[in-house]
Chains A and B, each alone.
Chain A
Amino acid sequence: GAVVSQHPSRVICKSGTSVKIECRSLDFQATTMFWYRQFPKQSLMLMATSNEGSKATYEQGVEKDKFLINHASLTLSTLTVTSAHPEDSSFYICSAPGTSGWNEQFFGPGTRLTVL
């Protein structure tokens, strides 16, 4: 199956700093990627849809100026958490749709962000 990687897997930062998370599709191209966050013992919540060559689409309640998304190429999307605060601490996961035409999204391993 398709492989999606994320980097870093874990990051700890001070409050007020910015953190960049990379999501790559390793063996296929993805014009669309999705960013989710998961709080402990909760579901995965879609934050935004990353579109190659155009602006990301954000879900209701997600601040686009705080969570900057850049879909730089057909294999790379980045999520930057700007001016991070402790409440941004979460597990961030990206996904990319497969090429079968069905919604078999392939997920990255996730990034654990801890803001001190």
Chain B
Amino acid sequence: DQQVKQNSPSLSVQEGRISILNCDYTNSMFDYFLWYKKYPAEGPTFLISISSIKDKNEDGRFTVFLNKSAKHLSLHIVPSQPGDSAVYFCAASANFGNEKLTFGTGTRLTIIP
């Protein structure tokens, strides 16, 4: 039972354009969402997060949007840079604090120079 889903396994975007990565979840108990970036043979690196009390969080080129009614979140990267090429995982947890994360299946983002 995949509680967090990323339906696009891959995405290619021209450098300078906006990259939009999507994530859907089914568990209504999730109240905290995170995006991680992962390079091959490395551990994930935290990018940005959002709690369920917000619908948007922005950090530099990265913005995460949360639509609770649709159980959907998205990560926007603008402008996209070649260094953004990586696999992006969304993750969710129930209860704030040191709680375990449930990861999506990942989206491989390729930025075309």
**Which residues of A come within 8 Å of B, CB atoms?**
1, 4, 6, 31-32, 34, 36, 41-46, 49, 91, 93, 95, 97, 101-110, 112
Contact = CB atoms under 8 A, between A and B. Distances in A.
Given A42-B105, A43-B89, A43-B103, A93 B96 contact: no
Interface in B72-110: 89, 93, 96-106
Nearest to A48: B100
Interface residues of B, number: 25
6 closest cross-chain pairs (CB), A and B: A107-B43, A97-B98, A43-B105, A44-B103, A43-B103, A103-B93
B16 interface: no
B21 interface: no
Among B34, B43, B45, B100, the most chain A Cβ lie within 10 Å of the Cβ of: B43
A4 B43 CA distance: 10
A85 to B, nearest CB: 22
A95 B102 contact: no
Contacts of A108: 43
B21 to A, nearest CB: 14
A103 B49 CA distance: 9
Contact of A104 (B34, B42, B43, B100): B34
Interface of B: 9, 32, 34, 36, 41-46, 49, 51, 89, 93, 96-106
A103 B41 CA distance: 23
Contact of B100 (A31, A49, A91, A109): A49
A103 B105 contact: no
Contacts of A110: 41-43
Contact of B49 (A1, A104, A107): A104
A7 to B, nearest CB: 13
Contacts of B99: 103
Contact of B96 (A6, A42, A103, A109): A103
Among A4, A41, A45, the most chain B Cβ lie within 10 Å of the Cβ of: A41
A93 B43 CA distance: 7
B108 to A, nearest CB: 9
